[in-house]
Chain A
Amino acid sequence: MKQSYRPFVSVGIIIITMLTVVFFKMEVTRLGYSLLRVSRAEKSAADQNRLRNIAFHRLTRPGRIESLAQTRLALNKAGQGQVLQVAGNVLVAQ
C-alpha cells in the first residue's frame, strides 16, 4: 500500500467503525420500537382474552345453566332422594 493512502484508510476505518456503532445503536432502537408494538399487541390480546373469559364465565354461571335446563330442556331440579348413588351399584332414580 502506498504510504500516501494510509491516512485515508485509517480515517475510513474510523468512519466505518463509527457508522457500525451508529447502525447497531439504531438497530437497538428499532428493535425497541418493535418490542413496544408487540407488547401493545400482546396487551390487547390479553385484554381480549380476559373479556372472552368473562363472557365464558357469564355464559356458564350456574343460574343461567339452571334456567336453560328448565326452560329449554324441560328438566326439573333433582329433589331429595331423586339421585341416590350407591357406590358400585346401579343408579336408582325416581
Chain B
Amino acid sequence: MKARLVLVFFLIFGLIGGILLRAAYVQILPNQKLAQLQSRQFKGVVELQPRRGVIFDRNGVELATSVAAHSLYADPHLIQSPKAVARKLSRRLGMSPETIYQKIKDPKKRFVWLRRRLDAEVREEIQAWKIEGLAFVEESKRIYPNESLLSSVLGFVGHEGQGLEGLEARLEQPLRGETRKIAVRRDARGRPLVVNGQLFSEQPDGSDVTLTIDSNLQYNLEQELLEGLRRHRAQSAVGIILDVKTSEILAMSSLPDFNPNNPAGGEPFEKRNRAVTDPFEPGSTLKTFTLAAALKEGTIAPNTRIFCENGKYKIGKRTIGESIGHKYGWLTAHEILAHSSNIGTAKIALELGGEKLRQTFTDFGFGVKSGVDTLGESRGILPPLPWRDHLLANISFGHGVAATPLQIANAYAAIANGGTLRKPFLVKSIRSKESGEEQTFEPDEGKRVIDSKIASTLSLMLMGTTGADGTGVRARVNGFPVAGKTGTAQKLGPDGRYMHAYISSFAGFVPANDPRFVIYIAYDDPREKYYGSEVAAPVFARVAGHAVRESGLAPTLINEDNLLKRSAEAKPLQELEPAVRGTTDEWKGLTLRQALTRLRGETVSIQIRGRGRVKSLSRSQDNVVIELN
C-alpha cells in the first residue's frame, strides 16, 4: 500500500514537475523564435484618437465643438459581391450604387473610403448587416452649433480634421491634440489587457480655448450689420466691438459670411476675416488722428480757428474740396472734426508736416500689424516719406493710406482709454485637458501714444460729431453720450482711379464720459446713400444701444428727449391698479402684445401657453398664466 502511495505521489509530482520545468524552459530561457511568436500573439498597439478641443466664448457658450463620428471604409479584396454590396449601401449612404461600385470593384485594392463621418445609427445599421470587407474607423466631427455666427473669425476644418482657416488654423497646435499609441498586451480574443491603467490616464484630446468674444454682442452685431447690408444693398460689411480698457475683441464680423458646418458652400471671399485681412482707405475716420498729432505737437488747440476756404482749396495744381454741398469759412479745430472738413484738416496737416503726422499714425498702429492672434493680418498701407503737399493733405483726411477695420477700432480705443495703444486679442485662455493647466492671456501694458489730457480733449471733440449739427448725429444712443467720427471713402478701381463707389464707416465709443465699448462699422459700396453718417452711423447707434443695455450700464443723459412720454398704457408702477386688472372676459381676444402691455410694470412671473389670441388669463399671487388659442 505504502509503495503504491509513493508511486502515485512521484507520478503526480513528476507530471507537475515536468510541466513546471517545461514552463520554466519556455518562460525563462531565451528563445528568439518563441519570443517573436509571443510578441505577435499577445502584444498590440492601441491608438487613442484625439478629439479636437472646444472653442468657447467668454461666457462659456460653445462656438465650436467635436463629436465622435464613424467613417466607413472597404477592403475590396474581401468583398464577395461588390454589386450587391453597392446596391445595399447606396440606400443608406445616399450615394448612387454606381459610385460605390466604382470604388469597391477592384479586388486588388485593400483600402478605400466609402463615407466619412457617419452618424451612430447609420453605423449600427451597417454593422448589423455583417458584410465582410466593410469596417468603421472612429473619427472626430467638427460642429459649429451657432452655424454662421462668428464664422469668419472661427474659420473651419478640413476633411482630415485639420484647421484650414481662421482661429481653427491659427490655433491648430493646441486644438488638435495628438494621436497616442500605447503598447498593450492582448488576450487570445484580441482584447487589450489593462495592466497599469495607462489606457485610461493618457489624454490625447486637444486643449479647450476660451475667446474674448461675447456671443450675444456678436449675434446682435451680425444681425444689425446684415439688416444694414440688405437695406443699403452694400457688397459687404464689417463690424468690430472692442473693450476700451483691454482691447479685447468682444465681437468681430465680416458679412457676407458662410456656414462652417458646410465650408464648401462658401466663396473664398466670405471665408476671410476681412476685419483684419482687408485694408481700405479709412476716409474721414482718420481725421481724428491728424488732429491728435496736431494737439500733441501743440500746433493747434480745440478752439484754434482755421479758414476753410469756402469749399475750395488749391494745393499746387490740384484742388481739394469738401464733401458735396458743403462750404465752410472760419471753423475751430473742434468744428472741423464735427463737420468733417477736408480743407480744415488738410491745413492742419500742412502746418504740422508729413514727418510728425506719419509718426503719430505709426504710433496709433497704422501701417504696422497689431499682432492680433488671427491669420493673415494686413499691416495696411502708410506710404513712406517724403509726402508732397497734395499727398500729405490727402492722407490727413484718410485718402492715399489704407488701414484694416481692426487698426482703426484699436486706434480709437487708444483715445478712449486715455492714450494707451494695446494689442487687440481674441484668445482669453487655453486649458489643457491632460494637465488641467490653464494658460491665460492678459492684456498687455500697451504703449502710451498721447497724453491723457489730449485724449480727453479729443474725446470731447469727438462728442461734438454726434452733436446737433455734427455729421454723426444718427449715431446717438438714447441716454448715453457717444463720441465718434463718420467716414466716407471713395474706392479705388483696378486701374487705380477712384470709382463711383464708397466705403461708409463710423468709428466711435460709448459711453463717451466713461468709455466701455469701441465700435467700428463699415459698409462697402452701399447703393443710393453712401455717406457714413447715413449708412454706418445708424447701425453704430443700434449696436452701441444694445451693447450698453446688455452690459447693464445706467444711462447718464436723462432729459425730456430721451425719456419716453407717459401714456395711458405705460403708467408708472405706483399708478397701476392693484393685483387683478380686468376680468378674464376683458382679456379675452387681446393679442399677446396687448396683454403683455397691460401687465407691464407688475412684478409677476408670466407663463404663456399656446398660440394666437388670449383665451383666458388666470393668476395666483406672483404668477400669471395666459392661455392662447
A residues neighboring B (CB under 8 Å): 4, 7-8, 11, 15, 29, 31-33, 35-36, 39, 47, 50-51, 53-54, 57-58, 61-63, 66, 72-76, 78, 80-87, 90-94
Within B173-194, which residues are at the interface with A (CB < 8 Å)?
Answer: 187, 191-194
Q: Once the chains bind, are B562 and A33 in contact (CB under 8 Å)?
A: no
Contact partners of A72 in chain B: CB under 8 A: 611
Q: Once the chains bind, are B549 and A83 in contact (CB under 8 Å)?
A: yes
Contact partners of B61 in chain A: CB under 8 A: 57
**Given the complex of chains A and B, what is the CA–CA distance between A39 and B62 in angstroms?**
25
Given contacts A47-B68, A62-B219, A74-B593, contact A81 B562 (CB under 8 A): yes
Contact partners of A62 in chain B: CB under 8 A: 146, 149, 215-216, 219-220
**Given the complex of chains A and B, what is the CA–CA distance between A57 and B200 in angstroms?**
29
Q: 15 A-B contacts, Cβ less than 8 Å apart?
A: A4-B2, A29-B187, A33-B191, A35-B200, A53-B62, A63-B147, A74-B593, A76-B593, A83-B549, A85-B555, A90-B572, A91-B601, A92-B572, A93-B564, A93-B570
Contact partners of B215 in chain A: CB under 8 A: 62
**Given the complex of chains A and B, what is the CA–CA distance between A90 and B555 in angstroms?**
13
Q: Once the chains bind, are B145 and A32 in contact (CB under 8 Å)?
A: no
B554 interface hit (Cβ, 8 Å): yes
Given contacts A61-B145, A72-B611, A74-B593, contact A90 B68 (CB under 8 A): no
**How many Å from the CB of A46 to the closest CB on chain B?**
9
B477 interface hit (Cβ, 8 Å): yes
Contact partners of A94 in chain B: CB under 8 A: 564, 570
**How many Å from the CB of A89 to the closest CB on chain B?**
9
B3 interface hit (Cβ, 8 Å): no
Q: Once the chains bind, are B477 and A80 in contact (CB under 8 Å)?
A: yes
**How many Å from the CB of A14 to the closest CB on chain B?**
9
B600 interface hit (Cβ, 8 Å): yes
B321 interface hit (Cβ, 8 Å): no
Give the residue of A54, A73, A92 whose beta carbon is less than 8 angstroms from that of B67: A54
Give the residue of B149, B555, B564 whose beta carbon is less than 8 angstroms from that of A61: B149
**Given the complex of chains A and B, what is the CA–CA distance between A76 and B566 in angstroms?**
20
Q: Once the chains bind, are B478 and A81 in contact (CB under 8 Å)?
A: yes
Chain B residues touching A, range = 35 or more
Contact partners of A31 in chain B: CB under 8 A: 194
Contact partners of B67 in chain A: CB under 8 A: 47, 50-51, 54
Q: Once the chains bind, are B563 and A92 in contact (CB under 8 Å)?
A: yes
Among A50, A53, A82, the most chain B Cβ lie within 10 Å of the Cβ of A50
Contact partners of B5 in chain A: CB under 8 A: 4
Give the residue of A7, A36, A57, A92 whose beta carbon is less than 8 angstroms from that of B194: A36
Contact partners of A15 in chain B: CB under 8 A: 16
Q: Once the chains bind, are A75 and B593 in contact (CB under 8 Å)?
A: yes
**Given the complex of chains A and B, what is the CA–CA distance between A57 and B564 in angstroms?**
36
Q: Once the chains bind, are A92 and B200 in contact (CB under 8 Å)?
A: no
Q: Once the chains bind, are A61 and B478 in contact (CB under 8 Å)?
A: no
B592 interface hit (Cβ, 8 Å): yes
Q: Once the chains bind, are B9 and A29 in contact (CB under 8 Å)?
A: no
Given contacts A11-B13, A54-B143, contact A86 B194 (CB under 8 A): no
The 10 closest A-B pairs by CB, nearest first: A32-B194, A57-B145, A62-B219, A81-B478, A87-B554, A58-B145, A90-B573, A61-B146, A94-B564, A74-B592
Q: Once the chains bind, are A7 and B9 in contact (CB under 8 Å)?
A: yes
**Given the complex of chains A and B, what is the CA–CA distance between A56 and B199 in angstroms?**
31
Contact partners of B402 in chain A: CB under 8 A: none
**How many Å from the CB of B617 to the closest CB on chain A?**
15
**How many Å from the CB of A40 to the closest CB on chain B?**
11
**How many Å from the CB of B446 to the closest CB on chain A?**
32
B28 interface hit (Cβ, 8 Å): no
Contact partners of B611 in chain A: CB under 8 A: 72
B545 interface hit (Cβ, 8 Å): yes
**Given the complex of chains A and B, what is the CA–CA distance between A54 and B541 in angstroms?**
33
Contact partners of A82 in chain B: CB under 8 A: 564
**How many Å from the CB of B484 to the closest CB on chain A?**
16
B542 interface hit (Cβ, 8 Å): yes
**How many Å from the CB of A26 to the closest CB on chain B?**
11
Q: Once the chains bind, are A80 and B187 in contact (CB under 8 Å)?
A: no
Contact partners of A75 in chain B: CB under 8 A: 592-593
Given contacts A53-B62, A72-B611, A74-B593, contact A92 B564 (CB under 8 A): yes
**How many Å from the CB of A7 to the closest CB on chain B?**
7
Q: Once the chains bind, are A92 and B570 in contact (CB under 8 Å)?
A: yes
Closest to A51 in B: B67
Given contacts A85-B554, A86-B555, contact A61 B147 (CB under 8 A): yes
B616 interface hit (Cβ, 8 Å): no
Q: Once the chains bind, are A84 and B13 in contact (CB under 8 Å)?
A: no
B479 interface hit (Cβ, 8 Å): yes
Q: Once the chains bind, are B478 and A80 in contact (CB under 8 Å)?
A: yes
**Given the complex of chains A and B, what is the CA–CA distance between A73 and B592 in angstroms?**
7
**Given the complex of chains A and B, what is the CA–CA distance between A94 and B68 in angstroms?**
49
Closest to A75 in B: B593
**How many Å from the CB of B227 to the closest CB on chain A?**
10
**Given the complex of chains A and B, what is the CA–CA distance between A2 and B181 in angstroms?**
59
**How many Å from the CB of A39 to the closest CB on chain B?**
6
Contact partners of A92 in chain B: CB under 8 A: 563-564, 566, 570, 572
Contact partners of B192 in chain A: CB under 8 A: 36
Contact partners of B549 in chain A: CB under 8 A: 78, 83, 85
B315 interface hit (Cβ, 8 Å): no
B558 interface hit (Cβ, 8 Å): yes
**Given the complex of chains A and B, what is the CA–CA distance between A72 and B566 in angstroms?**
29
Contact partners of B592 in chain A: CB under 8 A: 73-75
Other 16 A-B pairs with CB < 8 A, given A61-B147, A62-B149: A7-B9, A11-B13, A33-B191, A36-B191, A51-B67, A54-B143, A58-B146, A61-B145, A62-B219, A75-B593, A78-B549, A80-B541, A81-B478, A81-B479, A81-B562, A94-B564
Contact partners of B145 in chain A: CB under 8 A: 54, 57-58, 61
Contact partners of B68 in chain A: CB under 8 A: 47
